[in-house]
Amino acid sequence: MIDYDPHQWGHHFFDLKGSMVREIVGRLLVVALWATAVVAFHHYVRPVGIPNTMHGLVGVALGLLLVFRTNSSYDRFWEGRKLWGGIVNETRNLARASSVFLRERDPALYRTLVHWTVVFPYAAASGLRGDKDLGLVIAQLPPEEVRQVGTAQHVALAVSQRMSETLAEGRRRGHYTEYTQMALDQNVQQLIGYLGGCERIHKTPMPFAYMVHLRRALVIYCGSLPFALVETFGWGAAVATVLLSYVFFGIEEIGVEIEDPFGTDENDLPLDRICGVIQNNLLALLPSETAKPD
């Protein structure tokens, strides 16, 4: 995610990174060449202009489709951010609540629980991105358990299992009752629920028919636009077509960019930063003699 000041127009007006220009520049070049060819044919071969009434009507409908597309994608983006906000809160709650029973009585067990809790968001982000990064804290956990987690079919689920087993060990050692264990494990269940919500967004793209219809409409509209503008704008019809195509293609590409917000694009959620915040917050709760800075 790109950090920016929304009050500063001039600082970002000419930025290319994250602005979708690089993603749509190929399409704009094709439109520019096509529009120039249409205008040249109109002036030097024979007139090919058509009334612009139909494009005015279709443009309204196309604009509504693009608005719906962008709103649907932003809903997915914002829901993903809320789900990761829940992951932040539940990891903090688990470390905070368990510290009352384990921090002083059993620092080693508490350290293990905190470290597995720190690993969970890294495992969740890695599962959504298709990689295996579990963070630096993984080096402070038992190698055999780390190997088993790394080879599991669902890594984040295996990490949550380790968290639940650590809570069960605290109950077996007499640090709290079975009911307290169940209450603490509710945080682990909430983490799995939030991850499931992220996976639902990640694995459910926008309906194929809607995507195909919108893109076909965009191509037909922008491809026929020079015919509707050439009689009014002359050679300026090529420039007007490129500008309108930039607006339409850019809006559509923004929707594509943010509909799955868990990747590494410039406009995706800053999952690495969120995982780092969770790590710093939780490691700060460890006793001074057991906390190891990153």
Low-confidence ranges of the chain (pLDDT < 50): 289-294
Distance separating alpha carbons of residues 176 and 155, to the nearest angstrom: 28
Residue type, 121: P
Per-residue pLDDT tens for 18-33? 778 888 999 999 999 9
Within a domain: 292: no
Within a domain: 16: no
Within a domain: 4: no
Domain span at 246: 22-40+52-285
Q: Which helix (H) or strand (E) holds 265?
A: none
Per-residue pLDDT tens for 227-255? 999 998 999 999 999 999 999 999 999 99
Within a domain: 35: yes
In the chain, what is the straight-line distance between the N-terminal and C-terminal CA atoms, in Å?
A: 23
Within a domain: 268: yes
Q: Mark out the alpha helices in 130-177 (DSSP H runs).
A: 143-150, 155-172
Residue type, 217: A
Neighbours of 59 (CB within 10 A): 16
Q: What was the pLDDT predicted at 56? A: 86
Within a domain: 46: no
Within a domain: 15: no
| Whole-Å CA distances, 164 to 129, 161, 196 | 25, 5, 18
- Count of structural domains, the chain: 1
Within a domain: 279: yes
- Which residues, including other chains, have CB under 8 Å from residue 161's CB and lie 6 or more apart? none
Q: What is the pTM of this model?
A: 0.89
Distance separating alpha carbons of residues 279 and 288, to the nearest angstrom: 15
| Whole-Å CA distances, 229 to 27, 146, 239, 240, 261 | 19, 64, 10, 8, 38
Q: Is 128 exposed, middle or buried (0-12, 13-18, 19+ CB in 10 A)?
A: buried
Q: What was the pLDDT predicted at 278? A: 96
